[in-house]
């Protein structure tokens, strides 16, 4: 019998179903759970992971698992749009296992709203921030009042402990327990990966920048990184488990450019051959041509870049700290080197107007990345902007199910624009970008050369006709 069962919620991979980016959904083992499991296992706890996100009948699978296994502790990870389902999950688990099992929740949402999370669910403990050491101390039976970084139910009320200090030495952490996942059940479309199955890799934690829309409740603003040597060993370990591609999910992989280049040099020196991509939005001022060329030689084929807006006032209104000129220079370098690019854009920034949205669309067409993703700004509760708009009375709903980055609901009143106008320009962005003749001609040439023309045609239809069946 395992001491601890870690659970990924049923809708973890389907929150964007039916949206403009439905075709970009990827299936991959949840790295946060793999990291927690590795710590538990290293400290002597039996642990298993149940990924309900890949199950066709998740609730039946969960009930069967709980019937055969009686873990002492069950942990669930929770983002904001998954919160209502996670609450439902806690109640179902409690009904099945009774009061003898400790239910723990962690992730961005409970880190932002721990008291509300506990009051509205059957969880006993909410972990705030990094959970690596916290989950181990819970499993070891340490007195809750002595465990830093938690909120917990105590009698009729909620108690809390002081914040836990950030982990300073990431090299001391064990490799994520990716072996606890069935690698053969994780498949990605050729549109979003070169090879499959794919695994996430996090080589650092924390982002030193201060964009108001970005959550900082788990890893904070201090940049803490693994050594290049540790990263290389983790890459080797991941590939040995059968993964064919790696998706680097650091908040900002190039925060320390010398370190980023060293990792690429070591990949080449070790003759490691695998495709990899930088999935988080690289900052345009933190890219140089030397790094891009080196990374491409080391197997990098795709970079995602956070352009956000084509209007400087809008960029300034979120504290982005970049200029349009830097964005254009970064895109020029990426194209010059020959890397595939994904551009991230947002509509509905605090200083947004109809004119600035037109500028953003025009800017995206001018930059012409290989793929563009636009969202209507969603202020999540682990980000500063949510609380700024809350104080201004602009947050109109706490129906967290509607807080999706794509296809979310009208949960706030924008300072200057109505929801219908935002949605109008959201649709216009995708039409103007993907139906642009220059773009279509360029993508057709690339798709033909790669042998993916009909595949990309199919995905294109699904982007604009979401009801086209899979």
CA distance 330 to 282: 10
Strands 340-347 and 371-376: parallel
pLDDT at 461 over 60: no
pLDDT at 466 over 80: no
Helix axes 419-434, 354-367, angle to 10 degrees: 20
The model scores a pTM over 0.75: yes
Confidence of residue 25 (pLDDT cuts 50, 70, 90): low
Rounded to whole angstroms, how far apart are CA atoms 377 and 229? 38
Q: What is the CA radius of gyration of the chain?
A: 22
Please tell me the class of the 4-160 domain: alpha beta
pLDDT at 452: 63
Is the pLDDT at 451 greater than 70? The verdict is no
> What is the predicted pLDDT for the residue at 47?
97
Mind listing the pLDDT tens digit for each residue in 147-180? 999 999 998 899 999 999 999 999 999 999 999 9
For residue 247, what are its two tokens?
A: 């998706």
Q: Find where tokens 């706490």 sit.
A: 398
**Do 2 and 46 meet the contact criterion of CB atoms below 8 Å apart?**
yes
Strands (E), 207-291: 224-225, 245-248, 276-282
Would you say residue 21 has pLDDT above 90? no
Identify the pLDDT of residue 219. 81
**Structure tokens of 386?**
């949510």
Give the mean pLDDT of the chain: 91
Helix (H, G, I), strand (E, B) or coil at 45: coil
- Mean pLDDT to the nearest integer, 215-239: 92
Per residue in 293-344, pLDDT (tens digit) is: 999 999 999 999 999 999 999 999 999 999 999 999 999 999 999 999 999 9
DSSP 286: G
pLDDT at site 469: 35
| Beta pairing class for 276-282 and 340-347 | unpaired
Confirm if 166 and 222 have CB atoms less than 8 A apart.
yes
Within 10 A of 68 (CB to CB), how many other CB atoms are there? Answer: 8
Q: How confident is the model at residue 12 (pLDDT cuts 50, 70, 90)?
A: confident
pLDDT at 73: 97
* Both structure tokens of 385: 């902007």
Lowest mean per-residue pLDDT among 84-88, 378-382, 462-466: 462-466
The closest of 310, 353, 346, 304 to 328, measured between CA atoms, is 310
Write out the H or E segment, with its range, that includes residue 289.
helix 289-297
How far is 95 from 91, CA to CA, in rounded Å?
A: 6
Question: Which band of pLDDT confidence, cut at 50, 70 and 90, is reported for residue 460?
Answer: low
* Higher per-residue confidence, 25 vs 179: 179
CA 319 to chain centroid: 21
Give the Cα separation of 280 and 219 in Å (integer). 15
Q: Is the pLDDT of residue 468 over 50?
A: no
Fold of 187-434: TIM Barrel (3.20.20)
Query: According to the model, what pLDDT value does residue 42 have?
Result: 97
More confident residue, 443 or 395: 395
pLDDT tens for 29-38 read 999 999 999 9
pLDDT value for 442: 84
Q: Dig out the tokens for 127 from the structure.
A: 């972990």
Q: Return phi, psi of residue 221, to 5°.
A: -100, -10
- Cβ-contact 398, 379 below 8 angstroms: no
Sequential DSSP letters for 100-140: GSEEEEESHHHHH-HHHHHHTSS-SEEE-S--HHHHHHHHT
Q: DSSP per residue over 343-405, as a string? A: EEEEE--TT--HHHHHHHHHHHHHH--SEEEEEE----TTBHHHHHHHHTT-B----GGG--S
388: Cα within 13 Å, side-chain hemisphere:
15
Q: What's the pLDDT score for residue 17?
A: 56
Nearest partner of 419 among 361, 347, 344, 351, judged by Cα: 347
Render pLDDT for 354-401 as a digit per residue (tens, 0 to 9): 999 999 999 999 999 999 999 999 999 999 999 999 999 999 999 999
Average pLDDT over residues 115-126: 98
Collapsing DSSP to helix, strand or coil, 32 comes out as helix
CA distance 120 to 209: 33
CB atoms within 10 A of CB 25: 16
Beta bridge partners of residue 312, listed in sequence order: none
Annotated domain spans of the chain: 4-160, 187-434
- 458 CB neighbour count, 10 Å cutoff: 16
Which residues are CB-contacts of 63 (< 8 A; sequence separation ≥ 6)? 92, 96
Flag the least confident range among 14-23, 256-265, 363-372.
14-23
pLDDT class for 467, splitting at 50, 70, 90? very low
């Amino acid at each position: 019998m395992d001491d601890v069962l870690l659970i990924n919620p049923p809708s973890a991979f389907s929150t964007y179903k039916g949206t403009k980016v439905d075709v970009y959904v990827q299936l991959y083992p949840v790295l946060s759970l793999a990291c927690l499991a590795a710590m538990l296992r290293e400290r002597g706890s039996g642990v298993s992971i149940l990924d309900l996100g890949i199950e066709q009948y998740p609730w039946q699978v969960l009930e069967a698992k709980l019937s055969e296994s009686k873990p002492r502790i069950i942990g669930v990870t929770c983002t904001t749009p998954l919160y209502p389902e996670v609450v439902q999950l806690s109640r179902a688990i409690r009904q099945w296992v009774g009061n003898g099992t400790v239910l723990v929740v962690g992730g961005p949402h409970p880190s932002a709203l721990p008291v509300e999370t506990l009051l509205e669910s059957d969880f006993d403990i909410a972990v705030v921030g990094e959970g690596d050491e916290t989950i181990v101390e819970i499993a070891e039976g340490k007195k809750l009042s002595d465990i830093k970084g938690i909120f917990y139910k105590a009698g009729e009320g909620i108690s809390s402990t002081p914040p836990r200090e950030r982990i300073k030495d990431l090299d001391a952490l064990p490799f994520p327990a990716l072996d606890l996942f069935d690698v053969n059940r994780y498949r990605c479309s050729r549109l979003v990966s070169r090879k499959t199955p794919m695994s996430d890799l996090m080589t650092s934690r924390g982002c030193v920048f201060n964009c108001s829309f970005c959550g900082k409740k788990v890893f904070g603003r201090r940049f803490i990184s693994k050594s290049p040597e540790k990263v290389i060993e983790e890459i080797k370990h991941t590939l040995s488990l059968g993964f064919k591609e790696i998706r680097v999910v650091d908040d900002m992989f190039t925060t320390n450019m010398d370190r980023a280049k060293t990792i690429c040099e070591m990949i080449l020196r070790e003759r490691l051959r695998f495709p990899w991509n930088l999935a988080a939005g690289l900052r345009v001022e933190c890219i140089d041509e030397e790094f891009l060329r080196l990374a491409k030689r080391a197997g990098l084929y795709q970079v995602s870049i956070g352009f956000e807006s084509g209007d400087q006032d809008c960029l300034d209104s979120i504290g982005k700290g970049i200029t349009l000129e830097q964005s254009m220079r970064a895109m020029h370098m990426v194209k010059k080197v020959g890397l595939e690019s994904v551009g991230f854009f947002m509509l509905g920034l605090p200083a947004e107007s109809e004119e600035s949205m037109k500028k953003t669309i025009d800017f995206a067409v001018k930059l012409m990345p290989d793929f563009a993703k636009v969202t209507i700004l969603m202020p999540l509760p682990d980000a500063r902007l949510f609380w700024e708009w809350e104080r201004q009375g602009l947050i109109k709903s706490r129906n967290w199910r509607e807080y999706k980055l794509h296809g979310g609901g009208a949960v706030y009143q924008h300072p200057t624009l109505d929801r219908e106008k935002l949605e109008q320009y959201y649709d216009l962005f995708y039409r103007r970008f993907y139906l642009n003749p220059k773009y279509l001609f360029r993508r057709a040439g690339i798709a033909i050369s790669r042998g993916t023309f009909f595949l990309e045609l199919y995905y294109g239809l699904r982007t604009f006709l979401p009801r086209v069946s899979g």
